[in-house]
Amino acid sequence: MHRIVEKKQLADTITLLKVEAPLVIREARAGQFVIVRLDEFAERIPLTICDTDRSRGTITLIIQQLGRSTKDLCALKAGNSIQDILGPLGNPTEIEKFGTVVITGGGVGAAELYTAAKALKENGNKVIAIIGARNKDLIILEDEFKAVADEVLITTDDGSYGMKGLVTDALKKIIAGQTVNRIICCGPIPMMKAVTGTARPYNIPTIVSLNAILLDATGMCATCRCTIEGKVRFSCVDGPEFDGYKVDFDELMVRNNRFLEEEKRALET
């Protein structure tokens, strides 16, 4: 059992949990995730390790309420427990000195890039973070990114905060003004596709962190298979990060919809 030691509401539908998971911390690196199973009846849900606190033996999980399982997790309180946490899983983010790196996070995707931003900064990169969301309320971790990045740009679709527009609008501005050596991106699939499209004419290496449906997450079931440069790859063990230029985003979008009806049914119970 993994006790929740702290809970913070980052937005109406976005919850931060600090959870005891001492075993996970030992090998955890930026970009890796855990599989969480709340109780005997719950699904296995992948969540990025957003931060680790070695002294307390906790990991930070940031959860957006989307379906039954995320709703149940968001309803937990400090002192409650999560039955199973498996991890760290997936390949860590490649961290070296690239030069200028733009971190592009859409919605709760920003949370997944925080440890990468920190590690990239520690490795001597200039880190520019773009955090985008539909509106001001959904912008998360602004202060945290400000503490580790050289520059933080906020975009909102409705202009309620920061620059009005999409993350790609901010990205275009940055690319126009300076050399960018690498882009790392996490968010909704259409956004990752758009960021990759924006970067392509400039040939800037663009890494995307995919959010395929997972089950065992150890390479055994292939439910997370995606097409990378025409080849089948498992997001759980070959990813979750891939070269954005090679990803078949349209297929992933269709595959991620395959249990929509069941998700609705589960939410009604």
Partner 1 sequence: MKDFKEVSLGFTEEEAVREAQRCIACKKKPCCNGCPVEIDIPEFIRLVARKDYKGAIRKIKEKNNLPAVCGRVCPQETQCEALCVLIGKGKGGPVAIGALERFVADWEIEHSPHPSLSPVGGEGKGEGAAKVAVVGSGPAGLTAAADLAKYGYQVTLFESLSASGGVLRYGIPEFRLPRAILDRETGYIESLGVEIKCNILIGRTVTLSGLFEDGYKAIFLGTGAGLPYFLGIPGESLNGVYSANEFLTRVNLMHAYEFPKYKTPVKIGERVAVVGAGNTAMDCVRVAKRLGAQDAIIVYRRGEPEAPARRAEIEHAKEEGIEFRFLTAPIKIEGNEKGEVKSMTCLKMELGEPDASGRRRPIPIRGSEYEMPVDTVIIAVGQGPNPLIAHTTKELAVDDKSGELKIDENCMTSMKGVFAGGDITTGEGTVIAAMGAGKKAAAAMDSYLKGA
Name the site residues for partner 1 (rule: CB under 8 A). 23-24, 26-27, 37, 41-44, 68-69, 83-89, 215-216, 218-223, 225-227, 232, 237, 251, 254-255, 257-259, 261-263, 265-266, 269
- Inter-residue contact 199 to 206 (CB < 8 Å): yes
**Given the complex with partner 1, which of 161 and 259 has the nearer CB atom?**
259
**Given the complex with partner 1, which of 12 and 261 has the nearer CB atom?**
261
Q: How far is the CB of 87 from partner 1 (least distance, A)?
A: 7
Q: How far is the CB of 191 from partner 1 (least distance, A)?
A: 20
**Given the complex with partner 1, which of 3 and 136 has the nearer CB atom?**
3
Q: How far is the CB of 254 from partner 1 (least distance, A)?
A: 4
Q: How far is the CB of 43 from partner 1 (least distance, A)?
A: 5
State how beta strands 14-20 and 58-64 pair. Answer: antiparallel
**Given the complex with partner 1, which of 126 and 193 has the nearer CB atom?**
193
**Residue 51 belongs to what H/E stretch?**
strand 51-53
129 φ, ψ to 5°?
Answer: -110, 130
- Inter-residue contact 236 to 89 (CB < 8 Å): yes
Q: How far is the CB of 122 from partner 1 (least distance, A)?
A: 23
**Given the complex with partner 1, which of 75 and 222 has the nearer CB atom?**
222
Give the separation between CA 247 and CA 245, rounded to whole angstroms. Answer: 6
**In which order are the strands placed within the sheet that holds 163-164?**
163-164, 151-156, 126-133, 100-106, 182-186, 206-209, 241-243
